[in-house]
Structure 1
Amino acid sequence: MTDRAEAPPRSQWAEVWHQFRRHRGAMFGAAVFVFIIAGVFLGPLIWTVDPQFLPRGRDFLNLRDTRPIYVALWDGAAKVSWAHPLGTDNLGRDTLARLMFGGRVSIAVGLAAMALTVGLGTGLGLIAGFYRRLDAPLMRLTDLFLALPLLPLILVASLLFREALAQRFGPEGGTFLLIVTLIGLTSWMQVARIVRGDVLALKEREFILAARSIGTTNARLITRHLLPNILSPVLVSAALGIATAIITESALSFLGFGFPPDFPTWGRLLNDGVARLSSYPERAVWPGILISLTVLSVNYLGDGLRDALDPRIRGR
């Protein structure tokens, strides 16, 4: 009787995926985040109402300040209207369409700012950890940025550069570039510290010393040996960076330093809803719920990635 053949061992990425699937919070976060992404990017293909459409004349009087699934009067009879499932604002614009459009802007800002934050932090952390002569200057620069009051700095920079960028790239494009740059330039410090610490520990390991002994160049050491081994904290920082960028953009828009008033984002919609919170509380609830769910789902994703990519706790 022959023994049954043992199953071949899983690859490293298959083991990471297996561990990630076992993390219930990460799977919940992934499902919610994918649902939100699909809603804001694919939803307009189904709900084709123009988020900037302004009704005129009698339509304006009938459509302004409607409640979700409101009861309207046609020919003297009350009927439920599904024309605007989440209601309209004080100018008669559809709330659902504006939420989807604003979600695309907020998530695009989060992804772009995260890419800048992670790229800058990873690059500076690698250089500081690998080159001893540059370690002290770069870390003192990091400490300087950490000591700055970031939100007031972002607000002042927004006031200084908004007009110049708006004239060159347009009001929306200039504001997008400004917000992404400001968030990226003020959020890279934690990533740089984490990467530097990992590089300092890795460059004394045996496989790095062996690679040096056969004449491997510094550039190849960084790209082929160090960078793949610090991928775990970088990916976790990327996931958490999306949440930080979305919250920062929402705070700027809420304070009136973000996109123009007629260009909806979740933060701008939240700001508009607070002004009439007592009469129409749902206008602040919808963007608030979406911001909270997005940030919560991304945080759960970061936790799952940390557990799946860290071999010390994998399998617990």
Structure 2
Amino acid sequence: MTELTPTLAPLDDPRWALLEREDDAAEIIAAPVRTYWQDVRARLAQNKPAMAGLIFIILLVLAAIFGPMLSPHSYRAQNLSLANLPPILKTTEVGGAEERQLVFVNTGNLNLYGVDEGGHVTGLLPGGRKDMINRQTIWQVGGAEVVLDYSSLPPVLAQEGGPGLSPGPTKWNRTYLFGTDQLGRDVLVRQLYGARISLMVAFVATLVNFVIGVTYGGLSGYLGGKVDLVMMRIVEIISTIPLTLYVILMMVVLQSGLISVMLAIGTVFWVDMARIVRGQILTLKSQDYVAAARTMGAPTRWIMAKHLLPNTIGPILVTATMLIPSAIFIESFMSFIGLGVTPPQASWGTLTSDAVETLRRYPHQLFFPATAISLTMFAFNFLGDGLRDALDPRLRQ
């Protein structure tokens, strides 16, 4: 049997020559090193629905803060002569080219309004003479009589004498961009003021939820044993009380208002956060680094603040983000049934409640607050989903 002997190339063989490498080649080849939070921001920025929700929330907060300040109208100022104006005006031309005037017929209250070329409402046309027998209202416009006949529906606008009427351009209401309500108040300003109330209640409830829920759930999970048993039974008792009944009891003691709503939501809204934090702490407290810190004599406060809570910040942020739309919806529902803010204050719930009464004639009054509630809840849910994915360390690249 022939024995195979490996042949080795001599050391001066060019195949054994060292490769040339520049000093910064390793940095060029290696991937950029990013911290955990930099990676979170990068992944969140790639999530388009989450970024759209974040941009919407920022714009909503800015509009709620500065919008009522910049508007010429007040959220409580009433003008009954301009009640129930829609945001879009279907005008009619009265008179000829020399005395051309645009008017708008509000079929809800059977009034006639003047409109200028820019779309601004000049006011209710004076001199309206009502003929209750023939079910007509007569105005003097441009030297001729303009008659609104509402003996049959829809009302018909006609002119006796003069060159007659012709359809005018459709214009956006530049005086009241979102129209007015049944008391002649600007819907846009009340919408922005309602955003203040709804967001204030949501953020206060979330802040209380964060402070109480994280502290309570963290202590319950870390101490364990009988302490955990007693603390969790308290949470279960609080969670079994219907929120509506709890708010009604708060109203009896403190009277209805914004403070009562914030206290009612803030005092019972933290139980979900406490359960989530407790579950995370129960998982993390058995880790080796916690045992090492306890062995070295670190106090409970130090272990909680430096080791356990920082490792639960992801679920805490996601839960807090998800609870904000729930708080907004609860406040809107309470205001809708009359247990929220009191007039003349406005929230999205009170705007919705007021608009239901005039839904068939003026649907725009319900459209704007309902749309605001829906878009805000979508925005916070998209942001919460994006944060949940961005904060997951298993998705880190």
What are the residue-to-residue correspondences of 1:86-125 with 2, within 5 Å? 86-125=178-217
- Cα displacement (A) at 1:210: 1.0
- Identity across matched positions, percent: 32
Q: Which residue of 1 aligns with 2:343?
A: 261
Aligned residue among 250, 255, 262 for 1:162? 255
Q: Which residue of 2 aligns with 1:169?
A: none
Note the alpha carbon deviations across 1:231-284, whole angstroms, 9 max, x for none: 111111111121111111100100011111211111110110011111111101
Output the amino acid matched with 2:245.
P
Q: Which residue of 2 aligns with 1:228?
A: 310
What are the residue-to-residue correspondences of 1:29-40 with 2, within 5 Å? 29-40=53-64
Aligned residue among 271, 277, 283 for 2:365? 283
Q: Which residue of 2 aligns with 1:172?
A: none
Aligned residue among 15, 18, 27 for 2:51? 27
What are the residue-to-residue correspondences of 1:74-153 with 2, within 5 Å? 77-78=101-102, 79=115, 80-81=119-120, 82-132=174-224, 133-153=226-246
3-state SS of the aligned residue for 1:20?
Answer: helix
- Cα displacement (A) at 1:152: 2.4
How many residue pairs align between the two structures? 299
Q: In 2, are the aligned partners of 1:69 and 1:84 still within 8 Å (CA)?
A: no
Q: Which residue of 2 aligns with 1:53?
A: 77
3-state SS of the aligned residue for 1:88?
Answer: coil
* Structure 2, unpaired ranges of 5+: 1-20, 103-114, 121-173
What's the TM-score once normalised by structure 1's chain length? 0.89
Q: In 2, are the aligned partners of 1:66 and 1:89 still within 8 Å (CA)?
A: yes
Q: In 2, are the aligned partners of 1:70 and 1:87 still within 8 Å (CA)?
A: no
Q: In 2, are the aligned partners of 1:307 and 1:314 still within 8 Å (CA)?
A: no
Q: In 1, are the aligned partners of 2:246 and 2:264 still within 8 Å (CA)?
A: no
Measured at CA, do residues 313 and 154 of structure 1 come closer, stay the same or move farther in structure 2, by a change above 3 Å? farther
Q: Which residue of 2 aligns with 1:189?
A: 271
3-state SS of the aligned residue for 2:393?
Answer: coil
Higher relative contact order (CA 8 A, sep 6+): 1
Matched, 1:273 2:346: no
Output the amino acid matched with 2:192.
M
- Cα displacement (A) at 1:156: 3.1
- Cα displacement (A) at 1:31: 1.6
In structure 2, C-alpha distance between the alignment counterparts of 1:109 and 1:116, rounded to whole Å = 11
Aligned residue among 55, 64, 67 for 2:83? 64
Output the amino acid matched with 1:206.
D
What are the residue-to-residue correspondences of 1:161-180 with 2, within 5 Å? 161-162=254-255, 175-180=257-262
In structure 2, C-alpha distance between the alignment counterparts of 1:179 and 1:76, rounded to whole Å = 53
3-state SS of the aligned residue for 1:312?
Answer: helix
Instruction: Choose 1 or 2 for highest CA Rg.
Output: 2
- Cα displacement (A) at 1:151: 2.1
Note the alpha carbon deviations across 1:126-155, whole angstroms, 9 max, x for none: 111011231000111111122222222223
Q: In 1, are the aligned partners of 2:84 and 2:183 still within 8 Å (CA)?
A: yes
What's the TM-score once normalised by structure 2's chain length? 0.72
- Cα displacement (A) at 1:76: 6.4
Output the amino acid matched with 2:186.
D
Q: In 1, are the aligned partners of 2:191 and 2:369 still within 8 Å (CA)?
A: yes
Q: Which residue of 2 aligns with 1:243?
A: 325
3-state SS of the aligned residue for 2:332?
Answer: helix
Output the amino acid matched with 2:275.
R
Instruction: Decide which structure has greater strand share.
Output: 2
Matched, 1:218 2:293: no
- Cα displacement (A) at 1:296: 0.9
